[in-house]
């Protein structure tokens, strides 16, 4: 079996369709694995998402065509968990504000009252590989940890928001989780609480988030992901810019996964998935 390898990003969905039309196995990122693309590839048997998430692939439609969708769930949990803790420390220790003052020549140590992690309650919305790594790190800081998962009730989730000093989102984006964090739940957060998102931006109602942070309903948010992230142009939307400019927000450009070590693991995991598909024994299946 031959293989076509592309190292560039597609310019359009039509170009993506042209590239995959004769394939039996595809890896797909940065373009939609939608009904049109799936229908354009009549020989297609397997779709590999080279990431933990796979929300850009129509997994349900693929299943109706007996196409197996698999993901790569193990290469990113460590760096993403580290990044979540880095965002929390950045906010809780008020590092951007202190650094900006010092760059301006100001020395104001008494202005920076920070937030100790020890003894605080961390609530994890999602408890997969990333959540478990965050838990391990948080316990090392002396935090207590609770979590919800796919079996939790709406009442369980509400309780987590009401009781936690820090809420961290580390769950996949699905039709059930989209806008799970809405205005009602944002208002449940303690005034002193922090919200960290290292999962997918659309899990939060972004309009409600901007309004809540502007009102200072809670202490702040650390965000690595956003709803409506830029494509290859890199041009951020007006809504994302509003978040970036808020003084109680720390942001990074969906870069939590990006370490040399994790990218090496990613390559190995993609190859392992390809080999498993070639053997007719797919692993990490998400849709069947």
200 catalytic? Reply is: yes
43 given a catalytic annotation: no
CB within 8 A of 99, min separation 6: which ones? none
Which value, to the nearest 10 degrees, does the dihedral of the CA atoms of residues 219, 223, 229, 235 take? 80
Distance (Å, rounded) from C-alpha 86 to C-alpha 237? Answer: 25
Which listed residue (19, 83, 200, 265) is catalytic?
A: 200
What's the rounded Cα separation, in Å, for the pair 71 and 270? 8
Closest CA to 223 of 244, 239, 242, 193: 244
Q: Given its phi and psi angles, is residue 252 left (phi above 0), alpha (psi -120 to 50 degrees) or beta?
A: beta
Output the CA angle 285-287-288, nearest 5 degrees.
Answer: 80
Cross-strand bridge partners of residue 68: 46
SS3 21: coil
Find the catalytic residue in 229, 238, 261, 269: 229
Residue positions annotated with a catalytic role: 200, 229, 254
């Amino acid at each position: 079996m031959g293989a076509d390898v592309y190292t560039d990003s597609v310019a359009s969905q039509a170009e993506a369709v042209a590239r995959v039309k004769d394939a039996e196995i595809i890896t797909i990122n940065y373009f939609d694995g939608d009904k049109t693309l799936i229908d354009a590839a009549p020989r297609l048997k397997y779709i590999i998402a080279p990431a933990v998430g796979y929300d850009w692939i129509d997994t349900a439609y693929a299943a109706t065509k007996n196409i197996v969708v698999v993901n790569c769930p193990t290469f990113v949990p460590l760096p993403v968990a580290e990044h979540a803790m880095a965002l929390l420390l950045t906010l809780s220790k008020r590092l951007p504000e202190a650094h900006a003052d010092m760059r301006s020549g100001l020395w104001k140590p008494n202005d920076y009252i920070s937030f100790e992690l020890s003894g605080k309650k961390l609530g994890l919305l999602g408890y997969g590989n990333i959540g478990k790594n965050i838990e391990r790190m948080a316990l090392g800081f002396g935090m207590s940890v609770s979590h919800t998962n796919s079996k939790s009730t709406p009442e369980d989730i509400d309780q987590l928001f009401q009781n936690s000093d820090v809420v961290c989102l580390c769950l996949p984006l699905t039709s059930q989780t989209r806008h799970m964090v809405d205005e009602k739940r944002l208002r449940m957060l303690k005034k002193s609480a922090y919200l960290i998102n290292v999962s997918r931006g659309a899990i939060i109602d972004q309009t409600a988030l901007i309004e809540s942070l502007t009102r200072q309903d809670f202490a702040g948010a650390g965000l690595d992901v956003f709803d409506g992230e830029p494509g290859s142009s890199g041009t951020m939307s007006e809504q994302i810019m509003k978040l970036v400019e808020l003084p109680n927000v720390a942001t990074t450009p969906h870069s939590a996964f990006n370490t040399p070590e994790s990218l090496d693991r990613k390559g190995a995991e993609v190859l392992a998935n390809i080999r498993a598909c070639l053997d007719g024994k797919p692993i990490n299946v998400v849709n069947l």
